[in-house]
Amino acid sequence: MLSGLNREIVLVAGGPPCQSFSVFGKREGINDLRGQLVFDFIRLIDELRPHVFIMENVRGLLSMPIIPRSKNSKSELEHPPEFSAHGSLLRRILSEFEKIGYRVDCFVVNAVNYGAPQIRERLICIGNRHNRLADFPVPSYSNRPGDGLPPFKTLGEVIGDGFIDPCPEVMNFSPRKLKYLAQVPPGGNWRSLPVEIQQESMGKSWYLKGGRSAYWRKLSFAFPSPTVVTMPNHAGTSMCHPTELRAITVGEAAAIQEFPQGWEFAGNTTAKFRQVGNAVPTVLGKVAGGVVLKLLQDIQNGQKKNSEALLTHRIIHVRPHVRTRSFWRNGRVYAGDVSYYAGDEDVEVDKKTEQLRLGLDDAVSLLAIN
């Protein structure tokens, strides 16, 4: 055995590098050497034979082909066309797990649904060699009034008034970027700028389709944070502090990920942001751990297998795609402190920033959202 261990291994948990699958990267898949490490994870599971494993990755792995189309032009004759099919890489990974006797449940989840102050989608695959089903709990927080659940935790609750920053290191924006961000109200983004300034600041990106909501983004204390990234000072993934003209600090990013207050990060500021940005929100680790604990208890109690043949793997979406804010609706620009579920007339806003955000002389009345 590779590990040299002479006893049973109950659990292996890991996250093969996700950069080659992430929508924030080049999405080169297994053409990127980091992307190939997912198969080393499978090899380790085969050699260590744990009762249960957890494999965490970005949502982008769901759609990743084995051979990305941009890289397939010279190899179309060498590989079957299904290698370029949507989601073929994950199907291959699950097939490899099944070959070594593990059935897998994949859960597409969002940390904000479980109490994290951050919108962060993740793919959590839980496999076992006892042919049992795993089940992820339903969300315990929501921004939909009809769900009857506690509201999402907000950025203001973790880095607002009273927050003591344990690591105030910052990778700040350039003077040019700060010039544009100074014109954006709290909760706003590029849409808050005059059209001519939008075009000047974004260049060719201004003509692209899609929301591009992270361009010149200034965070809001009134809503959960967007996904913490490793480079918060980039124009296209801006994480500007709501009330201070700067990028968020290492300590603030760590608080959003819910690291313990005294947690220490190693290396320079860039390295520290990489450690924070590539981490899994601690609440997801706790929830996934609870799923594994129940699964192990079922195994220990000797519950009968569901069938002799391995049950088919499952991919289950547990409300992963969450929208909290509106930046644009019906031809009108909002700064981002407007609930996605607010109606055209029923707009819930932060009293402290509403005049700055909307440029109104009179404050907008707060109305209940149905």
pLDDT in tens, 211-231: 788 999 999 999 999 999 999
Lowest mean per-residue pLDDT among 1-5, 37-41, 103-107, 333-337: 1-5
Which residue has better confidence, 271 or 64? 271
Grade residue 4 by pLDDT with cuts at 50, 70 and 90. Answer: low
Angle, helices 88-99 vs 33-48, to 10°: value is 20
Can you read off the two tokens belonging to residue 75? 């190899």
> Closest by alpha carbon to 248, among 257, 256, 239?
239
Q: What is the mean pLDDT of residues 95-104?
A: 95
Which residues is 317 bridged to in the sheet?
A: 108
Return d(Cα 289, Cα 293) in angstroms, integer.
6
Structure confidence at residue 346 (pLDDT): 43
Tell me: pLDDT of 305 over 80: no
The secondary structure of residue 25, as a DSSP letter, is S
> Closest by alpha carbon to 214, among 237, 191, 232, 197?
237
Q: Are 341 and 329 in contact (CB under 8 A)?
A: no
Structure confidence at residue 44 (pLDDT): 93
Lowest mean per-residue pLDDT among 2-16, 73-87, 227-241, 319-333: 73-87
Tell me: pLDDT of 41 over 80: yes
Strands 52-57 and 11-14: parallel
Structure confidence at residue 35 (pLDDT): 53
Residue 240 known to be catalytic:
no
Give this prediction's pTM: 0.82
Can you read off the two tokens belonging to residue 31? 């053409």
Q: Are 283 and 124 in contact (CB under 8 A)?
A: no
Q: Over the stretch 158-179, which tens digit does the pLDDT of each residue have? A: 999 999 999 999 999 999 999 9
The domains located in the chain, with CATH, are: 11-144+280-317 (3.40.50.150), 155-277 (3.90.120.10)
Grade residue 20 by pLDDT with cuts at 50, 70 and 90. Answer: very low
